[in-house]
């Protein structure tokens, strides 16, 4: 991490610790403080869940697109191989016919 990133991380960590200490030491009833903490944790949990859900959706879309691209590429590759195979077979049949003709000449 760069120096600026470390500084920013330290400031954010300090702010979080300060906020937590401020809530715990606030002149409020314990039940109210616990309710506020629970609400804060529930909000954070909801935000994380939403963020993970959105990330999951994005990844699913990207993998679905990649799968479709892979299927198309595979089909194209198989088609090209099939055409090349036909060309090789035609070439080999031609050479076999030539060899048969030469062999027939030699047998006379």
- pLDDT tens for residues 12-55? 788 777 777 777 776 777 777 778 777 877 887 888 888 888 88
> Do 23 and 36 form a contact (C-beta atoms < 8 A)?
yes
Token pair 């529930």: residue: 42
| CA dihedral angle for residue 40, residue 42, residue 46, residue 47, rounded to 10 degrees | 20
CA distance 67 to 61: 10
Beta strands in the chain (DSSP E): none
Confidence category of residue 75, pLDDT binned at 50, 70, 90 = confident
Which of 3-12, 52-61, 85-94 shows the highest mean pLDDT? 85-94
Main-chain dihedrals φ then ψ at residue 29, nearest 5 degrees: -65, 150
Q: What is the residue extent of each domain of the chain?
A: 31-107
């Amino acid at each position: 991490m760069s120096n600026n990133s470390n500084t920013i991380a330290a400031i954010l960590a300090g702010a979080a610790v300060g906020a937590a200490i401020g809530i715990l030491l606030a002149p409020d009833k314990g039940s109210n403080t616990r309710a506020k903490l629970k609400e804060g944790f529930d909000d954070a949990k909801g935000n994380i869940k939403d963020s993970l859900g959105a990330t999951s959706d994005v990844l699913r879309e990207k993998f679905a697109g990649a799968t479709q691209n892979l299927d198309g590429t595979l089909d194209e590759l198989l088609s090209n191989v099939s055409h090349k195979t036909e060309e090789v077979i035609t070439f080999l049949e031609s050479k076999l016919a030539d060899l048969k003709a030469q062999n027939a000449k030699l047998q006379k």
